[in-house]
Amino acid sequence: MWKYRCKTHLLALLASFGIGVLFGLITYFVYGDTLQVYLQEIAREAGLSSAEFAMVRDLMVNPALQAGMTGIVFAGLVNIVFLAQYVASKSSYAPLIFIVLLLMASVYLLLAGIVLLIPAIVVCIYGMVSLKSSLSFQRQQRNFSDDDEIVRIYKIHHTLDENVKRVALECKKNVRKFTVVYTLGVIAALCVLFFVQNFVVLVLLLVFLFMSFNYLMRFFANSLMPIRLLLYQNCDPEACASAIIYYSTNRNGKVKLKNRILLAQALIYMDDPQLAMDVLIDYSRRDQASLLQYWSLMATINYMLKDEDALDRCKEEAGKVRMNYGVQGVLVQSEELASIQNKVDLMNGQFNTCKKYYLQALQKARLPFQQVDACYYIGMISFVEQDYSLASMYFEKVISLGNKMAFVQKAKHFQSKIDAMAPSQDDDEF
C-alpha cells in the first residue's frame, strides 16, 4: 500500500521545497534589514565575538543559503505530515499521539521531518521503481501494455457509446475548474498564513477558507456523479464505461484511465471479469478504504471466474484491512466482508444463507442497479431450488429494471425455460 503513496510523497516534498525557496527569497528581500537587527540582538545575547558574529551574519544574509534553508524547513514539515498519515493508517491511536506531539513538541517533530528527508526521498524512489516493475510484470502476465491497450480490447468486445461523450467532457470541464480554484485557494491560504499579522483577521480568513475548501470538496465529489448515475441509476454499464473512457482520453488521444473502481464495476455488470481485472492492476491502493474496495471487487471477479483459491485470498486480505474511521469505518468493512463471504458461500453451494443475504440486500437497496443485482441472485437461487414461481417473479424484476446489465439476458434465458415448463436444474451459475 505504501508504494502507491511514494510518488505523491516525493512530488509534495519537491513542491514544498520549491515553495520554501520562493518564500525564503521573498523574506530576504522584504525583511532583510529586520533580519540584520535580529541577528545583532542574538549575537549580543550569545556573547559572540565580532569575528564570530561576522561569520554567522555572512551565512544568514546569503540569499541562496536562506532560501535553501527555508525550503528544507518547508519540506521537513510536509515530510512529517506524510509520515504521520502513513503511521495513522496502521494504528487508530496514531492521530491522537501525533496531535499531542504537535502541541507539546512541535519543534522536535519538525526536526524529525528534516532529519528524515533524505531517507524519505530514498524510500520514495525505491517504492516508485519497485511498484513500476511489479505492475509491468502483472501487465505482461495479462498480455497488455498500457491503458490504450485496455481501451482497444474494450472496443473489440463492447460498444463505445458516443452519446455519452458530451457528459464525459462536461465532467472533465468541472474537474478542471475545481483544480484551478483549489490551487488558487491553497496559494491564498499560504499568503494569509505568511503575510496577515492581525490575529482576528487571520482567524476570520482561515475560517472562510476552510468553509470554501469544504464546499469545493463537495463540488469535486459530485463532479463525476453524472457518469456514476449511468450505472447506478440508469443500469447502463456500457454507457458508464464509455463515459469513463472519454473522460480519460486527452486531446492527443492518449488514454490514462480514471476512476478504475467504477470502470471495473461497469465491466463486471457487462459480464467481462477478465477486463475488469486488467483495469484493477493499476488501481492505486494508497489507503485502507481503497484497499478494501480493491479486494471486494477482486472477490466478485474471482467468483465470476470460478477461482476458489483466489476468492479465499481476497477474503483473507480484506480481513487484514484496518479501517481507522470510527464506527462508520467498522460498518463499511463489515458490509464488504459480508459481501465477500457471500461469494464464498455461493461458490460452496450454501444457497439458503445466500438467499437470506440477498433478501436483506434487496431491502436495503436504494439504487436500481443494487436491486437488479439482488433480484437476479434471488431468482437464480430460487430456480436451483425449483421454486419457479418465485424465480420468475424476480427474473421479471431484473428484466424490467436491468436495462443493459448482463443480468437481463441471463434472466431472459432462465425465464424462457420457466415459461416452457421445462426448467433446467443446471446450477453452473454457482
Q: What is the pLDDT of residues 270-317, one digit of tens each?
A: 999 999 999 999 998 888 888 999 999 999 999 999 999 999 999 999
- At residue 42, the pLDDT reads 56
- At residue 326, the pLDDT reads 63
Q: What is the pLDDT of residues 320-345, one digit of tens each?
A: 887 766 677 778 888 999 999 999 99
Mean pLDDT across 93-110? 59
Percent of the chain with pLDDT over 90: 45
Is 318 inside any structural domain?
A: no
Grade residue 219 by pLDDT with cuts at 50, 70 and 90.
confident
Which of 137, 161, 186 is the last residue before a domain boundary? 137
- At residue 8, the pLDDT reads 87
Grade residue 93 by pLDDT with cuts at 50, 70 and 90.
low
Is 248 inside any structural domain?
A: no
Which of 109, 137, 165 is the last residue before a domain boundary? 137
Is 319 inside any structural domain?
A: no
Least confident of 36-50, 123-137, 366-380, 413-427: 36-50
Grade residue 411 by pLDDT with cuts at 50, 70 and 90.
very high
Higher pLDDT, 42 or 13: 13
pTM metric for this prediction = 0.80
- At residue 39, the pLDDT reads 55
Least confident of 42-51, 305-314, 365-374: 42-51
Q: What is the pLDDT of residues 165-195, one digit of tens each?
A: 999 999 999 888 888 887 887 777 767 666 6
Is 305 inside any structural domain?
A: no
Is 326 inside any structural domain?
A: no
The yes-or-no verdict on residue 60 having pLDDT over 90 is no
The yes-or-no verdict on residue 50 having pLDDT over 50 is yes
Grade residue 35 by pLDDT with cuts at 50, 70 and 90.
low
Grade residue 423 by pLDDT with cuts at 50, 70 and 90.
very low
Average pLDDT across the chain, whole number: 83
Mean pLDDT across 146-173? 92
Which of 70, 104, 137 is the last residue before a domain boundary? 137
Q: What is the pLDDT of residues 126-144, one digit of tens each?
A: 999 998 888 888 888 888 8
3-class secondary structure per residue, the chain:
CCHHHHHHHHHHHHHHHHHHHHHHHHHHHHHHHHHHHHHHHHHHHHCCCHHHHHHHHHHHCCHHHHHHHHHHHHHHHHHHHHHHHHHHCCCCCHHHHHHHHHHHCHHHHHHHHHHCHHHHHHHHHHHHHHHHHHHHHHHHHHCCCCHHHHHHHHHHHCCCCHHHHHHHHHHHHHHHHHHHHHHHHHHHHHHHHHHCCCHHHHHHHHHHHHHHHHHHHHHHHHHCHHHHHHHHCCCCHHHHHHHHHHHCECCCCCECCCCHHHHHHHHHCCCCHHHHHHHHHCCCCCCHHHHHHHHHHHHHHHHHCCCHHHHHHHHHHHHHCCCCCHHHHHHHHHHHHHHHHHHHHHHCCCHHHHHHHHHHHHHHCCCHHHHHHHHHHHHHHHHHCCCHHHHHHHHHHHHHHCCCCHHHHHHHHHHHHHHCCCCCCCCCCC
The yes-or-no verdict on residue 268 having pLDDT over 50 is yes
Structural domains counted in the chain: 2
Is 37 inside any structural domain?
A: yes
Higher pLDDT, 59 or 284: 284
Higher pLDDT, 43 or 62: 62
Mean pLDDT across 259-266? 95
The yes-or-no verdict on residue 239 having pLDDT over 60 is yes
Domain containing 419: what range?
350-430
Is 314 inside any structural domain?
A: no
Is 89 inside any structural domain?
A: yes
